[in-house]
A and B are shown apart, each in its own frame.
Chain A
């Protein structure tokens, strides 16, 4: 390539760069619009109520949303692969109930938590296997799992609430470290883990690739099925974690009912998360 051609190319590149800048300003709004709306809402609420912008209130909001948040982080993986997991609410219940039952009978905290997580991850794994091996739509599979997990939760509790959790567990739900409630800390930790997995690891990159174009990802030599199974399992585990936190958060006063966790607020939450 001679000099003049090179200059033409450079000029063209400039043109493209300008175009690029224009595009980003629009994209910027698309990307952060929801976050801006959140700030706007906070600003309005702060003006309306003098109690809104108090540390106590903010911590309370974080506490209230920490369980939804953990669910949403798991769902984020699934949604990024352009899948859907409707069963998280039920898996949450099953995970929490499993831990509760084990605690009532064995009073071994670690074993109880472990089993709760194991059961919920098995639910997620089953979702993943059915979706990939039988090539079923995620909507149908996870809708089925929603009923199955809820059913199991009702069976093992025989429909009765569980009460009488040992104080050691209650720390997980009601304890505070440096004034911050433990569920908030757990939620924050899981947020960081989610963020690192999605932005820094192979799994995260493949998740985006699968969601962007599954066929092209497969043709790039990625074992798409394997990663989808992992991702549905993660969604299950995260649902289990939130179930355990919820179980202990409720203390004795609010025994756990093996009921489906309300889906609507969860739905809103993860949509917001992904958009931002």
Chain B
């Protein structure tokens, strides 16, 4: 048996999009196999097929030499495939042992829980991971890293021979990561295979044996990690089609619409000044915690500012609430579309007209006919895929939901649009559509502030780029001067613009 797991020619279609197209994944016994790809490349979909969350449309899965058809996650667990998600699935109020044996507690002859046996088994599992913990301790008293170890112990308790780890290090500190890697190496030596999904490329070189690259739902290839350098990995992930992915058009850039001067907010935003012109896409990049979203919320009046001035079309304005921001022609497409951008249980129509409902009021009553006609226009203009304007937005895909948020602001006739992570969690095809809409907006003379943590997106779509680091604007670059290296240098605070 060369491989413990073979996934051959796996395809999966979702309405309107092919999420996976004939993807292969071959895992050797006792190896750490890294799965890489950009957001939306199909990594999660592939793993969900493997663990029985989704069913595959085409292809076959062979596990330990046998062709299998996994129908649900429980079945996957029983045959020895476990997954540890980014968000841990533990019950904080229960003890370590109770968590590990949740739903399959060992029983004694009387039909009661056999605690002695349960604690003994848990101790053995913990010992295997070199963890010195009492099985009776409640999980809520453990740190994130230890909780993750408990998840691994749980996976081992199923006698898993294949453990999938989805971004296991995203919440861990340096030291904890080392501990995790030690455990991974131990597992490896005892013959357990690991599929390791990570965005942190440096880790891949440290822990990975082989690597499979996915891009836009297609299989790019499988390589020995040692044979690749980081640049090569990035190139394989991104491909060379930057132009196709970012169909940027330059619009005529004219007068200043928005200008902010010396905005401060309790250590989170420090002396922020910049301007935004009609027809311009101003990119705003920063690493996690740089203050990008906070800046957007401050301008939009969602969070209070300590000091600073905001000018709209050259006139100083006071913005203390989103209501005032909207009156002055600013709209925000928030980072968390589901929780902040939309009211999921309301219809597309009600969502679109919410900020501008006053325009639809005739003598106390909502003019529903006008409302419906207007909405239908936006549905057509933005190509929102829906059978009816009265459909609740929760039934729409991520891309279509984002379009509804955009329609909301267009309907309120705003001049400045702040896009905070507009394409997060949206598939590749819909991303391009959103970019094309941004092109259209600036062509019509609107101004766009594009906040993103994805460098290619910032580079691909911006006319000008601001870079933030720890609440300050550290760099400003024009489209033609910008490069990933320069932006990252500013974002990490290594470089700072003068003056």
A interface, CB within 8 angstroms of B: 9, 12-13, 15-17, 19-20, 23, 200-202, 205-206, 208-209, 212-213, 215-223
- Please tell me if the beta carbons of A16 and B15 are within 8 angstroms of each other in the complex: yes
Q: B299-312: contact bitstring with A at CB < 8 Å (1 yes, 0 no)?
A: 01010000000000
| Given contacts A208-B350, A216-B342, A16 and B366 within 8 Å (CB-CB) | no
Pick the residue among A12, A19, A209, A221 that contacts B323 (CB under 8 A): A221
Instruction: Contact check, A219 vs B341: say whether CB atoms are below 8 A apart.
Output: yes
Q: A20–B323 Cα gap in the complex (Å)?
A: 34
Most buried by A among B300, B322, B327, B388: B322
Q: Is the CB of B332 closer than 8 A to any CB of chain A?
A: yes
Known: A15-B15, A16-B387, A220-B322. A205 touches B395 (CB 8 A): no
B273 at the interface (CB under 8 A from A): no
Query: Total interface residues on B, using CB and 8 Å?
Result: 38
Q: In B399-435, which residues have CB < 8 Å from any A CB? A: 408, 412
Q: A202-B361, A212-B345 are in contact. List 12 more A-B contacts (CB 8 A).
A: A12-B385, A202-B358, A206-B357, A209-B343, A209-B350, A215-B339, A217-B343, A218-B322, A221-B327, A222-B323, A222-B355, A223-B321
Check B366 against A213 for contact (C-beta < 8 Å).
no
Interface contact A202-B357, CB-CB below 8 Å: yes
B346 touches A212 (CB 8 A): yes
Do A20 and B387 touch across chains, with their CB atoms under 8 A apart? yes
Kindly list the 7 A-B residue pairs having the minimum CB-CB distance in the complex, ordered from nearest. Answer: A212-B343, A221-B326, A17-B387, A221-B323, A220-B354, A213-B343, A220-B355
Is the beta-carbon distance between A221 and B339 smaller than 8 angstroms? no
Distance A234 CA – B345 CA, assembled complex (angstroms): 24
* Bound Cα distance from A218 to B341, whole angstroms: 10
Q: Taking the nearest CB of chain B, how far is it from the CB of A192, in angstroms? A: 14
Contacts known (A212-B343, A216-B339, A221-B326); A20 close to B366, Cβ less than 8 A: no
What are 25 A-B interface contacts by the 8 Å CB criterion?
A: A13-B385, A15-B15, A16-B385, A20-B388, A20-B395, A200-B366, A201-B364, A202-B357, A208-B343, A208-B346, A208-B350, A212-B344, A213-B339, A215-B340, A216-B340, A216-B342, A216-B343, A217-B343, A218-B302, A219-B302, A219-B332, A219-B334, A221-B323, A221-B325, A222-B355
Taking a contact as CB atoms under 8 Å apart, the answer to whether A9 and B354 are in contact is no
Q: Looking at B300, B334, B343, which has the most chain A CB atoms within 10 Å of its CB?
A: B343
Cβ of B391 under 8 Å from chain A: yes
A213 to B355, CA, bound (A): 14
- Report how far A201 CA is from B368 CA in the complex, Å: 10
A269-B202 Cα distance, complex, nearest whole Å: 61
Contact A23/B341 with A12-B385, A202-B357 known, Cβ cut-off 8 Å: no
Q: When the two chains form their complex, are residues B387 and A205 in contact, meaning their CB atoms are under 8 A apart?
A: no
Which residues on A sit within 8 Å (CB–CB) of B345?
212
Verify A205–B322 contact, CB threshold 8 A: no
Residue of B nearest to A12 (CB): B16
Q: Contact: B322 with A219, CB < 8 Å?
A: yes
Q: What is the predominant secondary structure among interface residues of chain A facing chain B?
A: helix
List of A residues within 8 angstroms of B325 by Cβ: 221
B395 is contacted by which of A23, A206, A222 (Cβ under 8 Å)? Answer: A23
The answer, yes or no, to whether B386 is at the interface (CB within 8 Å) is yes
Closest residue of chain B to A204 (Cβ to Cβ) is: B366
**In chain B, what residue has the closest Cβ to A1?**
B383
Complex CA–CA separation, A212 to B15 (angstroms)? 27
Q: Assuming A200-B365, A221-B323, is B343 touching A12 (CB within 8 A)?
A: no
Of the candidates A202, A213, A222, the one whose C-beta lies within 8 Å of that of B342 is A213
* In the bound complex, CA of A57 to CA of B332 (Å): 57
With a CB–CB cut-off of 8 A, which chain A residues contact B326? Answer: 220-221
**Known interface pairs A20-B387, A209-B350, A213-B343. Does A223 touch B323 (Cβ–Cβ under 8 Å)?**
yes
Q: Which residue of A lies closest to B339 (CB)?
A: A215
Question: Shortest CB–CB separation between residue A38 and chain B, in angstroms?
Answer: 24
Q: How far is the CA of A200 from the CA of B388 in the complex (A)?
A: 20
Tell me the minimal C-beta distance from A234 to chain B in angstroms: 15
1/0 contact string of B378-390 vs chain A (CB within 8 Å): 0000000111100
Residues of B within 8 A of A217 (CB): 343, 354
- A201: chain B residues within 8 A (beta carbon): 364-366
Q: List chain A residues, Cβ under 8 A from B302.
A: 218-219
Q: Fill in one digit per residue for B321-337: 1 if any A CB lies within 8 Å of its CB, else 0.
A: 11101110000101000
Across-interface contacts of B355 in A (CB, < 8 A): 220-222
Residues of A within 8 A of B364 (CB): 200-202
Candidate in B334, B341, B357 with the most chain A CB atoms within 10 angstroms: B357
Contact B385 A9 (CB under 8 A): yes
Which residues of chain A come closer than 8 Å to B354, judged between CB atoms?
205, 209, 217, 220-222
Beta-carbon contact of B339 and A205 below 8 Å: no
Is the Cβ of B366 less than 8 Å from the Cβ of A205? yes
Shortest C-beta distance, A133 to chain B (Å), equals 15
- The CA-CA distance from A17 to B391 in the complex, in Å, is 10
Q: How far is the CA of A200 from the CA of B364 in the complex (A)?
A: 8
* A213 in contact with B344 given A17-B387, A200-B365, A205-B366 (CB within 8 Å): yes
CB closest residue in chain A, given B327: A221
B410: shortest Cβ distance to chain A, in Å?
13
**Chain B residue, CB-CB nearest to A21:** B387
A222 CB contacts on chain B under 8 angstroms: 323, 354-355
A-chain residues with CB within 8 Å of residue B391 when the two chains form the complex: 20
Residues of B within 8 A of A206 (CB): 357
| Smallest CB separation, A205 vs chain B (Å) | 6
- B-chain residues with CB within 8 Å of residue A16 when the two chains form the complex: 15, 385-387
How far is the CB of A223 from the nearest CB of chain B, in Å? Answer: 6
B412 / chain A contacts, CB cutoff of 8 Å: 221
Instruction: Look across to chain B and name the residue whose beta carbon is closest to the beta carbon of A208.
Output: B346
Given the complex, which residues of B lie within 8 Å of A219, measured CB to CB? 300, 302, 322, 332, 334, 340-341
Q: For residue B16, which residues in chain A have a CB less than 8 angstroms away from its CB? A: 12
Nearest-CB distance from B7 to chain A (Å)?
A: 27
In the bound complex, what is the Cα–Cα distance between A20 and B396 (angstroms)?
11
| Interface pair B15/A12, CB less than 8 Å apart | yes
Cα of A223 to Cα of B326 in the assembled complex, Å: 12
**Contacts A17-B387, A223-B321 hold; do A205 and B343 have CB atoms under 8 A apart?**
no
Contact with A along B446-484 (1 / 0, CB 8 A): 000000000000000000000000000000000000000
| A218 cross-chain contacts in B, Cβ below 8 A | 302, 322
Q: Which residues of chain B come closer than 8 Å to A209, judged between CB atoms? A: 343, 346, 350, 354
Q: How far apart are B391's CB and chain A's nearest CB, in angstroms? A: 7
Min C-beta distance of B213 to chain A, whole Å: 29
Q: A221 and B322 in contact (CB under 8 A), knowing A20-B387, A212-B346?
A: yes
For A212, the chain B residues whose CB sits under 8 A away are 343-346
Taken together as a complex, chains A and B put the C-alpha atoms of A212 and B346 apart, in Å, by 7
